[in-house]
Chain A
């Protein structure tokens, strides 16, 4: 496969500033001259930066790199300054900053050709998916050496028809639509991340792709693996839970990116640390 032709980088990932910085932990006594306290997304960005470094090591002119953009809704001028300063302070490579109003979030994502919108807020993720923007949960990872992505085997492995009949089993219309939306959105991201993954070998890769099938049978998982392979994405790890609680497994895998797709139905899922 001619990688050059297929590559349409950079792979733009959008984050929100309240995931990058932990504003809740700021108290009245916090020195206003200090950088904002680190949030969950900092480890993610560090892992992304390592992938980029390794990609450039292999090929200086590599264009399929990650690019992280930061979105901040409803910020005061003061916070805006602090955000930019703190990003610099922590040495985070942020491509662009977007300060916008709450209702402009979706537009901002769409107009910037975001390949993935990452958030710890499930509602934001769902809303984005429903408007056709690939979105996933920024999970409670702690590893900054390997960037781990979990793709939903249920979303990819179930056929459209099977997804519809999910309503018989308690999934709401909206939840089913989320599954379907994710199925469509995921493809472009999967193709790009697949190309990126192939730049590295089996072992010592700074990027690791996993498939998690939470409800579907092993055949659903097999279908997902085949589909992903057809899109050029070779998966490293695969998990099939058949209804077992997923938190214990996720606690071991420790992904950065988790395609949610209704896992929030399982109330034991912990994304808030």
Chain B
């Protein structure tokens, strides 16, 4: 494909709506296979609670009618909004340092909404000056094929069923929940902070299976005994890896201290025993997190409140809820043994709700 053509082609539409003499031309989005693609659903990016109510109580026709009637009203930000804003901030820094590189984040709006909602979504994106140039509005069809077509490195959605489907297809995905308290203003605008649980998120659930079957003590014993055997990887290992690659680009330009990406491991493992295996596993993969917090079973909420990540990934709803209650944007990764005994989520999504 003749790339130089396409690069400039894209900025075309902007000239129609923006000032011709304006110096700030929007840059071209990178090719999907080069970029770190984050696919976000409309309900993760924006708050559509009222619209969801209308859909559930009155059905599709009224829902669409409402959306069209309110087309010029931008949506309020949703749970993934601060994360996306922070991602864009990283891109700005990356472009400054590496103007010709395509190793950037690329945010794609991936929604099963009908194109009728398209104008309201585009208006909302413009309102917040989000740099989202790609979208798929599938009118109710499955998103999986499109996620794969875009080489999505991460899929964030408010719909747990869609997330489950994606995980089953090998796509890193998580269900985003709104924090209990409003904390958007307290999150860093210059540093993207991502926190990960260890087992069944970065790592496989093999050790959790032992914990569930034999209890905590056995778990600690087992982990100590196998400390030098790397764990198998979990669904979000690839995303941590992608973040690490971008971090390296900053380090290469002498910006280690000022790096706009910071990663955290927040695990129930204990530093004294089971934590070592986690760290050694990461090391064996050539990966690391900037901070590793071993809580030895203590609740994660308070620690996360201190860290203030833009997003926190965990496979257990108990931790997700705990984090959300204390103001963290928490995302549930429906993977592994923990899913067999999950209690129902607070707000079950109606089947086929456009999202």
Contacts and interface: CB of A to CB of B under 8 A. Distances in A.
A158 B2 CA distance: 21
Given A170-B5, A219-B17, A243-B7, A203 B140 contact: yes
A166 B287 CA distance: 45
The number of chain B residues touching the other chain, given as a range, is 35 or more
A64 interface: no
A215 B12 contact: yes
B22 to A, nearest CB: 14
Contacts of A240: 133-135
A225 B137 CA distance: 12
A217 B15 CA distance: 10
A219 B14 contact: yes
Given A158-B13, A219-B13, A238-B118, A245 B5 contact: no
Contact of A162 (B13, B26, B28, B61): B13
B134 A244 contact: yes
Contacts of B140: 203
Given A203-B140, A217-B10, A236 B114 contact: yes
A132 interface: no
A243 B13 contact: no
Contacts of B2: 170, 265, 267
B190 interface: no
A41 interface: no
Given A251-B149, A266-B1, A215 B10 contact: yes
Contact of B137 (A208, A238, A241, A245): A238
A87 interface: no
Nearest to B117: A238
Interface in A221-241: 221-223, 225-226, 234-241
A252 interface: yes
Contacts of A216: 10, 12-13
A63 interface: no
Contacts of A166: 9, 12
B303 interface: no
Interface residues of A, number: 46
A53 B273 CA distance: 69
Given A202-B60, A239-B136, A217 B119 contact: no
A237 B115 contact: yes
B150 interface: yes
Contacts of B17: 219
B348 interface: no
A269 B242 CA distance: 29
B29 A169 contact: no
B126 interface: yes
Given A235-B115, A236-B115, A251-B149, A220 B12 contact: yes
A268 B2 CA distance: 10
B122 interface: yes
Interface in B8-60: 8-17, 26, 28-29, 31-32, 60
A252 B149 contact: yes
B116 interface: yes
14 contacts: A158-B13, A162-B16, A170-B4, A211-B115, A217-B10, A219-B126, A220-B12, A222-B119, A237-B115, A237-B137, A242-B28, A245-B32, A248-B148, A251-B145
Interface of B: 1-2, 4-17, 26, 28-29, 31-32, 60-61, 64, 114-116, 118-119, 122-123, 125-126, 132-141, 145-146, 148-150
Interface of A: 157-159, 162, 165-166, 168-170, 201-203, 208, 210-211, 215-223, 225-226, 234-245, 248-249, 251-252, 265-268
